[in-house]
Each structure stands twice: as C-alpha cells, then as structure tokens.
Structure 1
Amino acid sequence: MATRIVVILLICILSFPIYQGRQEEKKALTKRTISIYDAKCRKFSGFRSYTEGDVKMCLSYRQGFKNYTDARADCASVNSRLAVIKTWEKFQIVVPFVNAWIGLDDLETEGTFKWADGSVLDDHLKSRIFYPGEPNAYYPQENCVCQRCWTYFDKLCDTLCYLAKHYLCEKVI
C-alpha cells in the first residue's frame, strides 16, 4: 500500500511540470491569438487597436481639421471609413476622443440617422449615446454627428456638417 502511495505521489510530482508547461503554452497561444488583430491593425500607418471587453476597433484619430465630407473622403483615401459605433462597447471605445466626426449622419432623410456602413441607428442605442436633448437639429443643417463636440459633453451631438473637426477613421478587420 505504501509503495502505491509513493508511486502515485511520484507520478503527480513528475507530471506537475508538464501540466504547468502546458498552461504556459496555452497562455502564450492565447496572447498570440489576441495580438493577431492588433498586428493587422498596426500594419496600417496611423491606426491603432482599441479594446472594450471583447470588442476591438482599429482606429485612427485624425487631428487635422476637416468638414464632414472631407473627413469621410480622407478616410476613404486610406481604405477606411468614418467610425461606425453600433454597440455600447464601441461607444465606450470612442468616448475619450474629443471633437471628432464619426460615421453617422441624417443627410439622406432628416431624422433618420445612418451609419457609414448604410445601416440605420438603433433607437435604444440612440438614447444611450447621444447627449440628452440630442439630436435636435437646432440649426436646419445639423445633419452630421460628432463625438464630444464640446469637451464638456461626453456623448454624441448632431451639428453642422461644414464645421471643421477632428475625425475617427476605422479599418474593418
């Protein structure tokens, strides 16, 4: 009986480094898997990967000032689009960026906000990501949306498309 216990203990002791090694290998593989997205994003000049929970975005915060149309064209010139933030997690990613155009407007139909990918803004998300009272079309041509149009706002506002602002380009990976 004592011999069996010794043998079992020896097996356990000798197996632990193998188990531990596999755990280390698993961690390394997980890190490599996670970093594939980051590596793909980094290969584009000026773009960086941002994460909120399990959600990632490949963004470039353009600090030059452009109106909405020119910002959209500049993003397209580097095979990207103005940022589409159709989830709460994506909104959390863009919160720190100040005075920046995103890919949302009601240029086609007043009051119907569409993302740069052509989809319509969800009403539930709209109530969460816009500053209270926005969008309001205060001026007749407030058809474009910016993130933190003024530094004291932490949400979205509709504003005049001809205003010069920073902008967020997004690479879809």
Structure 2
Amino acid sequence: MERGFTKVTGRNTTYGSERLGLPWSDVSLSECLSMCIVTYSNQCQTLMYNSQSRLCTPGSFPQSGTGGADLESNSTEGDLYASTSCDTSNGFTYVTSATASACMMASNFTLTYFDAYDYCADLGAHLFVGRTLDKLELLPHGIKFFIGLTDLETEGVYIWQDTKEELSTALKSVLYQTNEPNNLGPEDCTVYAAGSSGNTGNDVNCALNNFWFACERPMLNL
C-alpha cells in the first residue's frame, strides 16, 4: 500500500488508534486508504479494515502499550493498518542518529501545551516522546521544547502521551534538572532542551505560551 501502510493486527505488541469518524462500507483496502486520506488528509495515519464485510474505519496515529490496548480494533472493524515509513508532509522529516530515530516536525514558534497538543493531532501526530536520552537529543539543540510528557491526570505521575505509560524512574533521574519536577505554579507539563546530554528537563505551567514544541508521527518497526 502507498505511504508504507501494513497490517499490524496479530503482532506481539497490541496497537490501537483513535477513530477519526464513522466507517465506510463496501470498499476495497486501497479505496479505504484513499478515502481516509482524502477525507482526513494527514490526520489519517491508520485505518481498520474488515476484508469480509469490506468495512473501513479511519484512524489517527498508532498507539501501543496501555493506550493501544484501550483502542484496539474489534472483530467488526477488522485488522489495523499503520504506516511503517515517515510521512514527510507538513514539514516532517526523518531524523536519526546511531542509536535513535524519529519522524518529527520541530516548530519555530510558541504555543501553549494544549494548543500544541491539538496542532500535532491535526497533523496525525502526537507531541514528541523520548524514552531515552539518545532520542531526546534528536530535538534541535539549545531550545526548550514542549514534549508529550505530563502529570495532568495524577500529580507526580508523569505519563507519555502515546502509550499512556509512566515515565521510568531511571529516565526521570537523568531527564530533569536538579530539584525538578517541583510543581511550582502548578506545573504539569514538561519542556526539554537538547544539547547538554540530559538533566535539562523542567516542569512548567501548561498554559504558558513561551516554548516551541515538536510533533512526532509514529513509525512502526515491524
């Protein structure tokens, strides 16, 4: 399929995605993808297709972990298909190092966390997530970026946007500055400045319009 879509249902990891709207019926798999892209443009990063009933359900970016399990396609919707390549429209680029890679777009303007969240979602993406320092260092250096890591749901429990899973203790110890996060404000969102090999993260007020942000379109390594 064009844009590198492939079936992910039945893999060892459970994936799911947010439904973008009502399904279509009586279409082929290729027609399903074309209609999804025409209707939802770059928000269409996944689709669910039932080859027996020919039901097509459009979806946003793929999620794994807890988030993916909650959004897993059902027997009526059929199999989940997702992109395995970087969709480089809207300024996204494939950024890589020896140990990390991402399909991302780094802004050159500021938004609040909530507006940045919506901006990325409109492009079929989530805010950038980095579960290793190597991946966080893919961000442009020397600038503080909002990333997809907050404790908005439960104070002190930092959750990654894409999987809804908790930040590990090991990464937390090297991501944030000394005595951070401290919830001064209140502060529930995270900014990170690459280029210093860690310990530049800080919790900030989500409503501040002071920081750039980075969006990420997931690529599944299948």
Give the TM-score of the pair, scaled to structure 1. Answer: 0.69
Q: Give, as a single letter, the amino acid of the residue that structure 2 aligns with 1:77.
A: D
Q: CA RMSD in A?
A: 2.3
User: What residue is the counterpart of 2:143 in the other structure?
Assistant: 98
Looking at structure 1, the residues matched to 138 and 199 of structure 2 have their Cα atoms a distance apart, in angstroms, of 12
Superposed CA offset, 1:58-94 (max 9, x none) = 1101122210001000000000000111122212222
Greater fraction strand = 1
Q: Give, as a single letter, the amino acid of the residue that structure 1 aligns with 2:106.
A: Y
Looking at structure 2, the residues matched to 59 and 155 of structure 1 have their Cα atoms a distance apart, in angstroms, of 20
User: What residue is the counterpart of 1:51 in the other structure?
Assistant: 96
Contiguous gaps of at least 5 residues in structure 1: 1-39
Match 1:87 to one of 120, 129, 132: 132
Contiguous gaps of at least 5 residues in structure 2: 1-84
Q: Give, as a single letter, the amino acid of the residue that structure 1 aligns with 2:201.
A: L
Looking at structure 2, the residues matched to 154 and 123 of structure 1 have their Cα atoms a distance apart, in angstroms, of 14
Q: What secondary structure is seen at the aligned counterpart in 2 of 1:50?
A: strand
Between Structure 1 and Structure 2, whose CA radius of gyration is higher? 1
Looking at structure 2, the residues matched to 56 and 82 of structure 1 have their Cα atoms a distance apart, in angstroms, of 15
Match 1:134 to one of 155, 169, 180: 180
Give the TM-score of the pair, scaled to structure 2. Answer: 0.55
Instruction: Say if 1:93 and 1:158 are closer, same or farther in 2 by CA, change over 3 A.
Output: same
Looking at structure 1, the residues matched to 91 and 140 of structure 2 have their Cα atoms a distance apart, in angstroms, of 19
Looking at structure 1, the residues matched to 168 and 190 of structure 2 have their Cα atoms a distance apart, in angstroms, of 15
Asked which structure has the greater RCO (Cα within 8 Å, sep 6+), the reply is 1
Q: Give, as a single letter, the amino acid of the residue that structure 1 aligns with 2:144.
A: N
**8 Å CA contact 1:68, 1:144 repeated in 2:** yes
Alignment size in residue pairs = 132
User: What residue is the counterpart of 2:160 in the other structure?
Assistant: 115
Runs of 4+ with >3 A deviation: none
Greater fraction helix = 1
Looking at structure 2, the residues matched to 69 and 169 of structure 1 have their Cα atoms a distance apart, in angstroms, of 13
